[in-house]
Structure 1
Amino acid sequence: MTKQLMIYERAVPVSSESHRDWSVKMGEDYKFSSSVNSVPLLAAEFRATAQDYAIVFAGDGNDVVPSVILGVRDGENSNVGADGNWTGGYIPAFLRRYPFVFSRSEDEKDFVLCIDEGFDGFNTDGKGERLFDTDGERTTFLKSKLTFVSEYQALFERTAVFCKRLQEHDLLEGAQAQFNLADGQTASLSGFFTINREKLKALPAETLVEMVRSDELELCYAHLFSLGNLTPMAQKIGVSATPAEAEVAVDA
């Protein structure tokens, strides 16, 4: 599993002083994500994502977050075509918010809206949507992006609470997936976690009731259901894998 924030090359705070004459042209080009095989996922996205992709958990220590697997080989997103169009199903919000992102202020108390100045659609040619009007005020476009990123951050915090519960109850275990490639070589995914189904079922009744009421139990089973997407995902990109070879195996 790779570090996904690397899709941001030069994320800097958006300001009228620096970006007053700048515009952003956003469209259907997802080439910026063509070299990432997984990205972070919000809990609110589990239901939509589980239809098409495998959902796992990535990170270490107390920093575990849900992630969606987009490719079975490192540095390869199998859902982006040669023309940059998205060829898969649901598009994760992590990618839809690009080139915008929040970063913490120097005093760590607030969030600052940033933009990746390395984004191909970031320009001074007037292409796309302006960030600021002639008076230096935020345009409707920039305000909408600020709202989207703000909502993303709020959902991210709620997702962190869900992951914390999984860790508190020791439900996560290291796992890996193995594939046989069409050319006879092998590929593997490792460095991620899955929920232990038996430990989940063995939780105290009061804990399970609480997780039902908070919709967290539904998230757990959406994750477990989604692991069945590994085989069709591999077949989509020409990987030869039997069901047994495509199943997630728990690390010893």
Structure 2
Amino acid sequence: MANQLLFYKSAVPLSSEAHRDFSIRTDGTYGFADTVNSVPIVAAEFRPAASDCAIVFAGEGDSVFPVVILGLQDSENLYVDNDKSWNGRYVPAFIRRYPFVFAQGEDNKSFTLCIDTEYEGVNSNNEGERLFDSRGERTKYLEGVLDFTKDYQAQFVRTQALCKRLVDLDLLEPMQAQYRTPSGDSGRLNGFSAVNREKLKMLEAETLEKMLKTDELELLFVHLQSLNNLQPLAERVESKAD
């Protein structure tokens, strides 16, 4: 559904030597995400994201992961206005953490904080939030970024466990969604999966009880309810074109 590279162009390991004079201009604009029609979300985001986004599952097998649909075309984000502001109720964490990201080591256990040096807000003019102080120590801003990214990674692992359970239980099925814009144009969105309600109902009581205790069952209901946001998404097409 979405470009696998998304909006990261040149993510490099962050260091006090190479990036000592770097600052991040945080102006609240999201032009960097203007051409992605979906982004991954983690389990902890299901409830807030479902307020105005459709949550579906992309990929197959071990690569299955939940995403929120942001646009109806390949390079379209209907939640980013022409002035680069975000017009939705919830901004996905994948977007909020940009231009930072963790790179996983070859041992699959160690992680290195990286920064996309091509992000337009990166500068050496002391504009915005500095990453390191004059002694090369992390600033409070960078410490906050690190904590946020660590929490995201922990939630990512939990979400992988959820997806593995869905695959193991064969609960996902390919899905198509039809929509109509305010101008009368119609279309069809595909390339994603959703939970099959009937298969969910047929699960053994022991499995359902286990999923209830881990909140996984609630997350699936949130996912299914969020699919009602697909038609409101189509109604954003007109405002994006203005």
Range class of TM-score, shorter chain: over 0.9
User: Partners of 1:67 and 1:59 in 2: how far apart?
Assistant: 10
Letter of the 2:121 counterpart: G
Gaps spanning 5+ residues in structure 2: where? Answer: none
Contact (CA 8 Å) 1:36, 1:76: kept in 2 or not?
A: yes
Deviation of 1:140 (Å): 1.1
Q: Determine the structure 2 residue equivalent to 1:15.
A: 15
Instruction: Tell me the SS of whatever aligns to 1:6.
Output: coil
**Residue correspondences, number:** 239
Deviation of 1:61 (Å): 2.0
Greater shift, 133-142 or 172-181, is seen at: 172-181
Letter of the 1:23 counterpart: S
Cα RMSD for the two superposed structures = 1.6
Deviation of 1:4 (Å): 4.5
Q: In the TM superposition, what whole-angstrom CA distance separates every residue of 1:85-135 from its partner, at most 9, and x where no partner exists?
A: 101111111100001000112444300000001100000111011111111
Q: Determine the structure 1 residue equivalent to 2:73.
A: 73
Q: Determine the structure 2 residue equivalent to 1:244.
A: none
Instruction: Tell me the SS of whatever aligns to 1:175.
Output: strand
Q: Determine the structure 2 residue equivalent to 1:249.
A: none
Is 2:36 aligned against 1:55?
no
User: Partners of 1:124 and 1:188 in 2: how far apart?
Assistant: 45
Q: Determine the structure 1 residue equivalent to 2:225.
A: 225
User: Partners of 1:218 and 1:4 in 2: how far apart?
Assistant: 28
User: Partners of 1:109 and 1:229 in 2: how far apart?
Assistant: 37
Instruction: Tell me the SS of whatever aligns to 1:173.
Output: strand
Contact (CA 8 Å) 1:4, 1:39: kept in 2 or not?
A: no
Contact (CA 8 Å) 1:73, 1:188: kept in 2 or not?
A: no
Q: Determine the structure 2 residue equivalent to 1:198.
A: 198
Instruction: Tell me the SS of whatever aligns to 1:82.
Output: coil
User: Partners of 1:196 and 1:42 in 2: how far apart?
Assistant: 20
Q: Determine the structure 2 residue equivalent to 1:2.
A: 2
Instruction: Tell me the SS of whatever aligns to 2:177.
Output: strand
Greater shift, 101-110 or 61-70, is seen at: 101-110
Letter of the 2:29 counterpart: D
Q: 1:107 to 1:205 in 2, by over 3 A?
A: closer
Q: Determine the structure 1 residue equivalent to 2:132.
A: 132
* Identity of matched residues, %: 54
Is 2:81 aligned against 1:111?
no
Q: Determine the structure 2 residue equivalent to 1:207.
A: 207
Deviation of 1:238 (Å): 3.2
1:32-43 pair list within 5 angstroms:
32-43=32-43
TM-score by length of 1: 0.90
Contact (CA 8 Å) 1:4, 1:36: kept in 2 or not?
A: no
Deviation of 1:192 (Å): 0.8
Instruction: Tell me the SS of whatever aligns to 1:7.
Output: coil
Q: Determine the structure 1 residue equivalent to 2:170.
A: 170
